[in-house]
Structures are given as C-alpha cells and as structure tokens.
Structure 1
Amino acid sequence: MTQRTLLPLFTEGPHGSRSAATCHYRCADACFKPMPNTTDNPEFHEVAARALARRSVLKAGAAGLGALAVAGVNAAPAAAASAPAAAPAAARRGGGVGTAAFTPVKPNRSDRVVVPRGYRSDVVVKWGDRLFKNSPEFDVDSQTPQSAALQFGYNNDYVGVLPTGRNRAQLVTNHEYTDENLMFPTGRYDSATIKKIAIQSHGMSVVDIRRGRRLGSWEQVPVRSARGNRRITGTTVFTVAGPAAGEKRLRTAADPTGRKVRGTFGNCAGGTTPWGTVLSGEENFNGYFDKSGELDARYTASYARYGLTGSGSRGWSEVDPRFDLSTEPHEPFRFGWIVEVDPSDPSSSPRKQTMLGRFKHEGANVAISRGGRAVAYMGDDERGDYIYKFVSARRFDPRKGRAARRRNLQLLTEGTLYVAKFTGDGTGDGVYDGTGQWIPLTSDTKSFVPGMSVADVLIDTRLAADKVGPTKMDRPEDIEPNPVNGKVYCALTNNSNRGTSYPTDEANPLAQSQTRAELGGPLTTRSGNRNGYVLEISPGKGDHAATTFTWDLMLVCGDPDAPETYFAGYPKQQVSPISCPDNVAFDAVGNLWISTDGNQLGSHDGLFRVPVSGAKRGHVEQFLTVPTGAETCGPLISADQRSVFIAVQHPGETDGATFENPSSTWPGTDDFPRPAVVVNYLG
C-alpha cells in the first residue's frame, strides 16, 4: 500500500468548508451555542467508544501498536446486505450510473460542477427563473415580493422528480433559507423590502420539466406550456392536519382556530411518498424569531429545548409582528413540522402533519411495511438529538383511482410516533454494531409519556423524547429506506465536540484527531466526530413496522489514511475521501448515494456512490463536486439510471463574500451566484 499524506483540514470556517455566513443564515449559529438537549440520556458515541476500547485491546494484543486502527485494509467486512434486485436492462448494458464504471472525481476547489470524464452537467432551473405566464423576467435590480412569489425561489435543497408522462415530470424542491448579503446589491433596497422579498423567496417550488435532446438530460417546460408549476412561499396558507390541529398552543391572534398557518421556512430535505405527494422538513425555524420584550414564562422549558431565545437576526418582525415572540408567543409552535404537498393538484392546500412530531426535521421518507403500513423515518438535525419513526394506523392502498388516493392522503394523520434507542453488541468483533428498539411516544389517541397528553408529545416532541431514554446522536440528518435491500441509512453529519463535552459510545465512536504538526504548522489537536458517519439500520424481521432493529456504522468518514476511518471493511487505499455526509439517495440497483455539507478535508463538497452489498460494499467513489462555497443537496437518481439530479445550494457563500465582491459566479449566467438544480448525465 502506498502511504498518502493526510489531507489538509479546512481552516476558513467553523465547520470545514461551511462558512460562518452559512452557519449564521441557515441555522442561526446553532453549533456555537449550548446544545439544547441537556438530559443524561445515553450518547451514541458512548456505545461506539466501548466497542473501540475492546477492539483496540484485541488488535494491540495481536499485532502491536500498528494495529490500533478502528478498521483498516484487513478488517473483517460488516455482514453483507440482502442481495439486490436485478438491475434494469439499461443498467445491465452499462448505461446506468448504478453499474457503470467511472473515474472518481478527485478532491478539488473548482468553481464549477466537476463530473467524471464523459459526463455533462446542465442547469435545469435556477433562482429567479420564471414559473408562470405573468412572472416577470428576473432582474436583480428590480426584485419585489410579488415577483419573488412568481419565480423559482432561493437556496434549493431537496429534489423530487415525479413522472407525469413518458417524457415529462414534475420537479419539486425546497427553498431552505436566504442570504441577503449575496442576493441584493448594496444600497439598492430598503430594509423592509429586503425582508418581504426574503419571505417570498423561502418555501417550495413545483416545476414542470421535460426530457432534453440528449439521453439523460432534462429541461424546464416553457411557462406558456406548463400546467403544474406552483410556488409555495413564506405566506402561503397551510392546513394543520393530525391530532394537534386546533390545540391552544397553535392558536394565534391571526388564526384563533389553530388550523391555518401562513408559510413554511427552513425547509431542508424531504421525500416522495408511495401515493405521489412530497414531504418537506421544517428544520431551523428557531432562528426566524426575535423579541421586543420578555418571553412568555409558560413556555420557558419548551423554548429552551428548541433554541428559541428571541435572538433571531433576520428581523422579520419589522414587516410581520408574528415573528416577535413577545407579541405572538404561539407562532413558533406552528413551525418545525413535516409538510405534505400534492404536486398533482396545484390548487390543493399544503398540510402540516402534526402526527409526525415537531422538531428540527431534516426530512421524512416513507416505506411500506409488510402489513401495508406507511412508515416514515425522520432525523432531528441537532447535536445530541434523536432519530424518530412513525407507523400509520391505516394501510396503504396501492390501487389507482380517486378513492384510493383520498384514503392514502390520510395515512400520516393517525398512527404511532417512536424514538430510537441504540445499544452496542459488546462483542469486540471489530465492527461498530449492535441492537436497538423503537420506544413509543404517542399514538393519535393515547400518549405513552407520563404527564404529557397526545398534543403535548406532538408539539414538544423533544421534551417528550427526553423522558424515555433514547440515544443522543451526532446531527441525524437525512434518513431513508433502501428500496432494494430494505435497510435504512442515516447520515450523521458530524459533531466537533464528540469525545470532549460529548462522550463516545459504539454508535457515536472515538474522538478523531489531527495535529497541525502533521501539516507543517503549530501543534494542535482536533477532537470530535469532525467527518461524520453513515448508519445502517436493519428492521427487525425485515419489517419496517417492527419495534426492534440491528445496526452498524457502515462508514466512519474522513481521510482514508486516518486510522479512525472505516468503509464497511473495503480496502481503504481504494476509496475516495468523504467528509460530512448530509443527504442520501439510492439508485435502481440499491447503491447508496451520499451528498456532503461542510467537507473538512480540503475539497469542495460532493456526491459519492457506495455499494451496500457484495464484494464492493463500502467502495466510496466520488461522482462530482460542487462550486465554491456551495453544498451538495437533494441527490436523486432517475429510475432509468440515466440522470443524476442535485441541488447546488448557496454557491459563493464564503466568509467575506458580498454581492459586489462574490467568491463565485456559478452558474455563469451573471456576475453573481445563483443557486440552481442541476442534472448530470453521460454526454
């Protein structure tokens, strides 16, 4: 094996390539603040640390100090997943990205989407593009709240593509947050106008798309022919669904019924349901609220657990008093939900699904259990928070027709909400793995948390979960079931405090470290889970509705030459470096695709393909990188494996960048950056 030099750590931001600006605008500097979860519930890293200690002793006794790595070239691979389903004919002929060989993209810092040789990358739709016949052309010097509501929104994240015909589909994406520093020429707009435009630039977009001239390419349908386009913004009216609808904490002066909410924001990942709707997760909603006076003492514990301090810096209360916690203390209870949108009906009311609980949802993804129940997996994206799932009371109706659709649209309103507890297996077998259980929190009719009603559990889900002893995780982000092998995969992005203020366990393992002496600089030690993990969950008896599971850490990410990294036992010298997994997706043959956010290893973020079974299980290969300052979001592999969609979010969002002095001008249509959805294909 050729020994490589450890890759350099990024130094420009608090989280590797993620800038301080991104931390500020997206999550209100959450990682600089105390963790909201102050309970003594077990940490995932404690479980993994015990395994590491056992493993280190065993390896040291057998091979000396040189074998103290967690897992290396000679490590035994984790148990293989179930055999994948047969590949589609196109993939077997070598035409699909699931089976086709490509030369992995090397780590780089190019201000473009870099794809393997032979592939092309096209912009499908970008910030400001027209969606309707009455949409004005985008003009950065003439933005208005009205025009923003008729154009493609800012900072696209989740990407869903729902076929509507042989050569047509609907692209659905979230617009997570705005960066006013990059959106507006200095001095061009007054403060109130900027805030009103920002509110309309949040939310979601539904865009009609069609196949392009090249195999695998897609393009926006001209607005004169588009019938399904839709914009959902920060003021669109949502219906509140599920058991918490109408509860007093959801009632405000503007909505005394507690059943109608204006807007959605902080929308991160999502999922497409088997019945054809799209789920979107409201994540960092706490940073949108400020205060003009004292906070309501009734909600001190709840506010603290959700990071609601009234210190939000967006100042939206200047144009809408509902964002002032002192004026409207109930408004934040109306956010932090999973929202459901029906793209097939542009006139339908989007819904906030209270039965799925309220927390900082990364997203929600649905599988159908053996008994026909809809099972939604969800992560709460904060250091020290939990993984959840929901199991419907009713069964999914696979038939076509309006009656079946009406029934399926009610699946997420009744059922049981669970939170996960992980336990290490204690065998010292060289693999981070163990067992787990889903602890029930509430059904739609009965709470299982003493002293809390059904509504209490659903509105203050974090407080309810704290009481039943689940496992604290390292920022559980996207979590999705693999439709081929039936297992569930979760991206645990990172936790730089792991191993210090956060102990370690088998599911949240060892503190990683690297010294500046290794890089030619002064000596420093960096502890913690800086590069993240990918968690693999096997439902009990292969049934998503089961209340038990087994688990393993399929990937311990980072530089392959670093001793703590692990790639499901695959030879480490053959994998691409990967850091900070964020979103996951699957192709038709069951490969895992991982997008990253905040690369710590000296490269821009990217997208990676990883087989989950067979001889190549754990073989991480980088498929692309994104431009300067950007994050790779919303990966989606088309069913025919010809198209790889990604959302390029916050290009140019680096510290010190401004509209007049940008660090990126991607995608090259203007002299300032524009977030966009991109399709990549063999060209």
Structure 2
Amino acid sequence: MKGSKHPRNEQTLNPSGNASIHDVIDQVDASRRLFVKSSVGGAALAAAGGLTLGGLVQTVQANTGSTLSQPIGFSSVPASTRALNVSLGGSATAVLDKVVVPTGYTAQLLVAWGDPIMPGGTAFAGDASESASQQERQYGAHTDGMHFFPFAGAGGLPSSERGILCANNEYTHEDILYSNGMSAGYNIAKTRKSQAAHGVSVLEIRRSNGKWQVVKNSPFGRRITANTLCKVSGPAAGHALLKSRKFSITPAGSVDTGTLNDGYTAYGTINNCAHGVTPWGTYLSCEENWNGYFGSRSGSLPAVGASEDGKNFNRYGVSVTGFGYRWHETDPRFDVSSNPLEPNLQGWVVEIDPMNPSAAPIKRTALGRFKHESAQYVVDAQNNIAFYMGDDERSEYIYKFVCEGKYNPTNRAANRNLLDSGVLYVARFDANLSGQWIALLPGTVGVDGKALRDNPNFMGANDAEVLAKILIKTRMAADAVGATMMDRPEWTGARPRIKGFQEIEVYCTLTNNSNRGRSGGVKVNNPDGSTAGGTARPLTDAANPRANNVYGHIIRWRESGRTVTATSFAWDLFVQAGDSATTTLTPKSQYEGNIVDSPNGSADYGAPDGLWFDPFGRMWVQTDQQGDGGGNWVNIGANSMVCADPATGETRRFLTGPNHCEVTGVTMSPDGKTMFVGVQHPGEDATYTNPTEYSNWPQGQWSVASDGVTPLPAGRPRSGVVVITKDDGGLIGT
C-alpha cells in the first residue's frame, strides 16, 4: 500500500502472445476442472483473449451455489466519481469527500490521527503544533491493517461492547505532519515526530449508550513506534548480519554507544501495512516499505558486486535518498553509509500481545524478511497451523510459513513460541493450474542445480547459519529456487470452512503491475539475487495473464489433502478487476474485467488490496488506487470496499471513501453488528501551504467527535477509523 508512494500505473499496453487460459484449462484433468470452471477460470479466459466475456457465461460450468451463512443483503452504493459529485452540486475535479455506506447503515468516526489514546495524551490541535512526545500518546498516522480483540463478556463469551483495537500506522505525510513542511528547518525534532507517528496504535474502545468511543485513559492504550524496543527471535536472531551499531535513543538525537547490537534486539517498527492475528490472541504487524526510510549521507552505496551489503541494498530497494523522509540526515541509525546493517532489522512480521502492555513486540525471523503484506493463519483438522503472506512489490512472491509445532487450543502458553520454528515456503504457480510450495531450506536445490547451502548468498559455517542468511535475504532465496513472480501480492485471506465447506482455500490480492509485459529489462528476478527490487519486466503467464496490469486481480488456491502442510496445491483466478465502461484503454477486453454484479458495472473496482473474510463467509475487498477519480479511474471513482460471495462471485459495493484516500483495514465485533474500517491518507499530495487542498476529512463530514459533543479540529485531513452499524441493529452485510 501507500498510495503515491507506490509506482503509478502506466497506460502503455504490451499485448501478450501467450496461450489463453482456456487452452490451459483444457489440459487439466476432469477431477480438478470443477474448481477451476465453477470459480473463476473465466477471469483469465477473458484477460488472455481466449473467449469474450459474453461467451464466457455460456461456456464456464455453473457455480455450485452460495455457502454463506448470511447472504449479501444490501444494495450497491454508487461509485464516487467526479460526475457524481457534479450531479450533487460539487466540484468537477474531485470525488465526494466523505465516507458513503448503503441505505440503512450509519458510519461514524471512531478515532483519527492525533486523538489521545493513553494516559497523558493531548487532544489534536489541528495545526501540526504537536511535539514528538505528544504524538507518542496520540493515535498514529495513516491507518492500515487492524483487528478487534474483545474482552470477556457475560458468561465468559467475547464481548461485542468492549475490547482492544490494534491498528497499524503505516507512514506519514510530512507536509501535513509539520506546520512548515519538510524543507524549512529540518531537524531531529521533526524526525522524532515522524518516527512517533509510525508503528502501531493499541487502544481500548467500548460502546456506551449506543456509541463507540475510545477509552482515552485506558491502561491498555499504548503506541509502538519507530523507536520502541523490540525483541528479535527465531532462527536468524543473534546472527552477525543483525548486529548493527547500537545507539542511545533520546529526543535530542541518537548517540552512538561504540558497541554493537546483540542481534536479539531491534529498535522500532516502520511502514506497518497489513496485519494478521494468531488464534492465541496476538496481533501480527507486517513491515512493508521499510527500505524507504534509510539513506546515505555519503551520497553513495556500495556496488552490487562489491559487497554483501551492496547486493542486499539493491535487492530490497535501499537507496541514497530513500522515499524522501530525511531521517538519515539527523538520525545516524538510518544512515546506511555508517550503519549498513540496520536495514536487516526491518522487514519482519512483528508479534504484539494487546492484553499485555508491558510485553515487548517480537520480530519473528522464521517468517522471513521482505516487504511483508499480511500474515493470515489457517489451522487444519490436525491442528497444524500455517501463515500465508505476500511480498508487496511488482514481480515479488507469495509465501507460507508452516509452524513446526501444532496449535494447542486449550493452552495459550503452549503456543507462545510457535512462530520461532517451522518451514518457510515460496509459491510456484504452474501453467497447468497446479502449484508447488518450495521449501526455503539449506538443502533445497535451486534452478542452478546447487543446494542453497552452496549458493554464495547463503554459505555459512553450518546449516543453522545458512538458514539465518536465507531468512535475512529471503527474496534472494526465492529468486534462486525459481518462484513465480506475481503482480504485487498483498493481503491474503482464508475462506471459512462453514456450511460443509472443508477445503483449505486461500486468496491473495494482486494489486497491479505496470511492468508486466513491458519491453526491455530483465524478464526474471535473476537467480543470483542481483535484480533490483521491483525492476523486472516479466512476460505474462497463467497466474498473471494481463500485460500492463492496471486494475489487478485476485488469485486463490486449495491445498492438497486439506492440510496446511501440503507442498502442492490447485489454483485459479477468482476475478480480474476492471472498468466495464472504459473507453480510454484498448483493447477493452483487457481492462473491463469479469466482476459478477447486477447490473453489470455496478460494483466495478480496481487495484484490489485489502482482503478479509467475515465469520459468515463473505469476502470484503478494499482498493488502493489514486483515489481522485481521474485518468483510468474516471468510471470507478474513489477507492472503495466491496463484498463478494466466494462461491458465486456475486459482488456489491459497500463503501466509498473520501477524496485522495485509500480504504484499508477492516474488522468486526464478535456479534457481527459493528464493523471498523480504516481510511488512509485523505487529501494525499496536498502541501503545507494548503493542507486541505484536496480533502478536509473527517472534519468536513462530521463536525463533532463520536461523543456527539467535542468539536473536530479543522485545518488538516486526518487518517482514521470509522465504525459502521446497521440502523435496525442487525448484522453487517445483510
């Protein structure tokens, strides 16, 4: 995620000459063809030119029917387009600057950037005058993945009236964070405030007199920031590549202690994007675009072939200037010219215990190091447990981690360190609609015919050191074994096994890839790990069938034998997102998609990102595109959240977001009657001279806070969380 921080899509079309997916399906044996044809084999058919969408209806085998325990019962809200805004008397250059939900539902603001969430917290000023120390007690910036952890209620059952909300705070918009922007007087105070707005917000919320509010002085409230002390555990902990320079971190600066880190500690978590949870009640925060916070004050980086650091920086996208945050200018911890191992302490899945405010977050190295996007678990019938993950960059990979130990549902303490030992796998999607999970272990043979232990990138004194290097340089290991390069794999989600459905069926959003099918450049991530992150220009393939993949798609797979320990799977495409009314992109068949909606085009969406299954089996998909209704998005409009039936593909649009925002993060109360949804970076791209140029959300939609009394400060757009309820008190989505 991250809106404009990701490369923009390009409009150049590079058609593929690959065989159509129709041809591929015909090669699949009859016993497996039902999964493909009854789901979304048709998505790839249309995209690859094998059939027209009209002919597809008559050709693809009928769906097996809904398995939802609660049907989708709302009517789609209209796309929030510039044209809609004009028809309502608004601007011809903007989409609606508000959250819109279906008739019969109400959305209210729960919390926004700068709201106090813990003892000593101060109210948001609205003029960016807060200090770093104040921000450390306030809700962080740019909400992303989130989860609601209920307290015990009546009879010991999970409460739907009170609990803890954990929410990621992915990044900061510096022109809004500081009153005078980035350029004027940049110093350590600005760096510290930016670092304090990153990380994770943990807040107690409760429903009182029908309204959800933050418990501002709760002992559970805390902020985990870019400077919070974390533990490092698992196979890579203590390795020399994690022993960066050690600093004493103070408000005035980071002071070099003259010693090295021990490899078992790290400071801070940054660019926390999507998330996961564990069945033992902990929160998993995923570090995504962490590379952009590092830079080099020397103005250069070691050459790719000259050192291990140079190759590592290249493969993970560490650069001289980063994303322009400038932390490295005032905080030497982020200066890779003098502290080159610090980036190795970022890029992990971080486990947080929401019920224990004194527990340090733990970076679990067994799950690998990359640009983590989501970590969703599945427990099979034998209590084996696996976590499914995406690496969010163009032409990166899909992973799963299978714990060595089994999940114990009756003893929480027995599960405490399940994430420290197991096997990390990377996915290969074959053209015959089967796939393989390739173990990233020292003895695994790569495409060069050599075991990973004999690969120069991972050689060590013993296999324990080899494994540590594989986990620290996970992308290079996946390159070496020939995993399938995907179109920005983001959130994963597992379909609930309800109403007799017993398959282990996992989905992953593939947001887009403007490099897919482009001419020039390398077509693979080189097996020696030398390719710069996000630069490959792969050909289209069965799992990624569209060149210049503007609108993205969703892939899914079923594990063989209904167990998470399987090393093989069957896969297909659930949907190709698109614009049914496009006139700007040709050929139209490449871009209109095959979303199942009625009337056709009423639930069009593109750039699928967030993905979550509710307890009733419905799949919720959130989008991450430019969000202003311009260019390729003139018909699709603002970012949105849709609801889909995974069995039939039926899709309806449930929510549209404010101008220039991303819709991301969703969770529910246990009774299914309250939904929490995140709104990230409303008004993105505004400057400090006019911070509300594009959006004044949420103040522009609600003048008062959730208590119905406290005025919302004006002056700056604010990321936040909305709470959605049904007016009749019923279940969300019905």
* Short-chain TM bin: 0.7 to 0.9
SS of residue in 2 equivalent to 1:270:
strand
- Aligned residue runs from structure 1 range 444-463, under 5 A: 449-451=452-454, 452=458, 453-463=466-476
Contact 2:109 2:720 in 1 (8 A): yes
* Residue 506, structure 1, aligned to residue 538, structure 2: no
**Partner of 1:409 in structure 2?**
416
Instruction: Rate the CA distance shift 1:251–1:620 in 2: closer, same or farther, 3 A.
Output: same
SS of residue in 1 equivalent to 2:347:
coil
Bigger shift: residues 570-579 or 260-269? 570-579
Shift of 1:660: 4.2
> Which whole-Å deviations, capped at 9, do the CAs of 1:354-411 have from their partners, x for residues lacking one?
0000001012111112321220000000111000000000011101xxxx22221211
Shift of 1:300: 1.8
**Partner of 1:586 in structure 2?**
613
* Residue 305, structure 1, aligned to residue 315, structure 2: yes
Shift of 1:48: 7.5
* Residue 146, structure 1, aligned to residue 133, structure 2: yes
In structure 1, C-alpha distance between the alignment counterparts of 2:176 and 2:649, rounded to whole Å: 38
Cα RMSD of the aligned pairs, angstroms, is 3.0
> Which whole-Å deviations, capped at 9, do the CAs of 1:65-90 have from their partners, x for residues lacking one?
998426766254478579736x3xxx
Contact 1:290 1:311 in 2 (8 A): yes
**Partner of 1:267 in structure 2?**
272
Letter matched to residue 102 of structure 2:
P
Contact 1:73 1:572 in 2 (8 A): no
**Partner of 1:181 in structure 2?**
175
Letter matched to residue 242 of structure 2:
L
- Indicate the structure whose relative CO is greater, using CA pairs within 8 Å and at least 6 residues apart: 1
* Residue 322, structure 1, aligned to residue 333, structure 2: yes
Shift of 1:648: 0.3
Instruction: Rate the CA distance shift 1:350–1:620 in 2: closer, same or farther, 3 A.
Output: same
> Which whole-Å deviations, capped at 9, do the CAs of 1:123-167 have from their partners, x for residues lacking one?
111111112221122223431111111111110101100111322
In structure 2, C-alpha distance between the alignment counterparts of 1:507 and 1:67, rounded to whole Å: 15
* Residue 667, structure 1, aligned to residue 698, structure 2: yes
Instruction: Rate the CA distance shift 1:569–1:619 in 2: closer, same or farther, 3 A.
Output: closer
SS of residue in 2 equivalent to 1:164:
strand
Unaligned runs of 5+ in 2: 27-41, 43-47, 82-94, 153-158, 247-259, 459-465, 519-536, 582-587, 627-631, 700-711, 728-734
Q: 2:350 aligns with which of 291, 316, 339?
A: 339
In structure 2, C-alpha distance between the alignment counterparts of 1:70 and 1:378, rounded to whole Å: 31
In structure 1, C-alpha distance between the alignment counterparts of 2:172 and 2:261, rounded to whole Å: 30
In structure 2, C-alpha distance between the alignment counterparts of 1:328 and 1:46, rounded to whole Å: 44
* Residue 249, structure 1, aligned to residue 275, structure 2: no
TM-score by length of 1: 0.82
**Partner of 1:74 in structure 2?**
57
* Residue 678, structure 1, aligned to residue 665, structure 2: no
Instruction: Rate the CA distance shift 1:103–1:141 in 2: closer, same or farther, 3 A.
Output: closer
In structure 2, C-alpha distance between the alignment counterparts of 1:82 and 1:259, rounded to whole Å: 51
Letter matched to residue 601 of structure 1:
W
In structure 2, C-alpha distance between the alignment counterparts of 1:76 and 1:445, rounded to whole Å: 41
In structure 1, C-alpha distance between the alignment counterparts of 2:336 and 2:3, rounded to whole Å: 24
Instruction: Rate the CA distance shift 1:252–1:124 in 2: closer, same or farther, 3 A.
Output: same
- Aligned residue runs from structure 1 range 647-666, under 5 A: 647-654=678-685, 658-666=689-697
**Partner of 1:112 in structure 2?**
98
Q: 2:191 aligns with which of 189, 195, 198?
A: 195
In structure 2, C-alpha distance between the alignment counterparts of 1:231 and 1:656, rounded to whole Å: 27
Instruction: Rate the CA distance shift 1:550–1:667 in 2: closer, same or farther, 3 A.
Output: same
Instruction: Rate the CA distance shift 1:105–1:435 in 2: closer, same or farther, 3 A.
Output: same
Shift of 1:610: 0.5
Shift of 1:483: 2.2
Letter matched to residue 449 of structure 1:
L
In structure 2, C-alpha distance between the alignment counterparts of 1:354 and 1:118, rounded to whole Å: 46
Q: Calculate percent identity across the aligned residue pairs.
A: 36
Contact 1:52 1:509 in 2 (8 A): no
Shift of 1:449: 2.3
Shift of 1:321: 0.3
Contact 1:52 1:506 in 2 (8 A): no
Instruction: Rate the CA distance shift 1:128–1:445 in 2: closer, same or farther, 3 A.
Output: farther
Contact 1:633 1:649 in 2 (8 A): yes
Q: 1:390 aligns with which of 401, 413, 420?
A: 401
In structure 1, C-alpha distance between the alignment counterparts of 2:103 and 2:339, rounded to whole Å: 55
**Partner of 1:471 in structure 2?**
484
Shift of 1:571: 7.1
Contact 1:78 1:568 in 2 (8 A): no
Instruction: Rate the CA distance shift 1:654–1:638 in 2: closer, same or farther, 3 A.
Output: same
- Aligned residue runs from structure 1 range 8-407, under 5 A: 22-23=3-4, 26-27=5-6, 50-51=20-21, 68-69=51-52, 74-77=57-60, 80=63, 84=67, 87=69, 91=70, 99-108=72-81, 109-139=95-125, 140-165=127-152, 166=159, 167-186=161-180, 190-192=185-187, 193-214=189-210, 218-221=212-215, 223-224=216-217, 226-254=218-246, 255-293=260-298, 294-296=300-302, 297-312=307-322, 313-399=324-410, 404-407=411-414
In structure 2, C-alpha distance between the alignment counterparts of 1:54 and 1:340, rounded to whole Å: 41
Contact 1:48 1:510 in 2 (8 A): no
**Partner of 2:589 in structure 1?**
563
SS of residue in 1 equivalent to 2:374:
coil
- Aligned residue runs from structure 1 range 633-648, under 5 A: 633-648=664-679
Shift of 1:576: 1.1
Shift of 1:310: 2.4
Shift of 1:657: 7.5
Contact 1:496 1:530 in 2 (8 A): yes
In structure 2, C-alpha distance between the alignment counterparts of 1:569 and 1:595, rounded to whole Å: 16
In structure 1, C-alpha distance between the alignment counterparts of 2:577 and 2:682, rounded to whole Å: 24
Instruction: Rate the CA distance shift 1:449–1:187 in 2: closer, same or farther, 3 A.
Output: closer
Contact 1:159 1:174 in 2 (8 A): yes
Instruction: Rate the CA distance shift 1:198–1:67 in 2: closer, same or farther, 3 A.
Output: closer
In structure 2, C-alpha distance between the alignment counterparts of 1:31 and 1:462, rounded to whole Å: 23
**Partner of 2:559 in structure 1?**
539
Contact 1:414 1:444 in 2 (8 A): no
Instruction: Rate the CA distance shift 1:660–1:205 in 2: closer, same or farther, 3 A.
Output: closer
Shift of 1:179: 0.5
Shift of 1:454: 0.3
Instruction: Rate the CA distance shift 1:643–1:48 in 2: closer, same or farther, 3 A.
Output: farther
SS of residue in 1 equivalent to 2:633:
coil
Letter matched to residue 69 of structure 1:
T
Contact 2:76 2:602 in 1 (8 A): no
Letter matched to residue 467 of structure 2:
V
The alignment of Structure 1 onto Structure 2 pairs a total of residues equal to 598
TM-score by length of 2: 0.76
Contact 2:284 2:350 in 1 (8 A): yes
> Which whole-Å deviations, capped at 9, do the CAs of 1:204-260 have from their partners, x for residues lacking one?
01110112434xx53212x24x23111101100000010100100100220431111
Shift of 1:301: 1.6
**Partner of 1:521 in structure 2?**
none
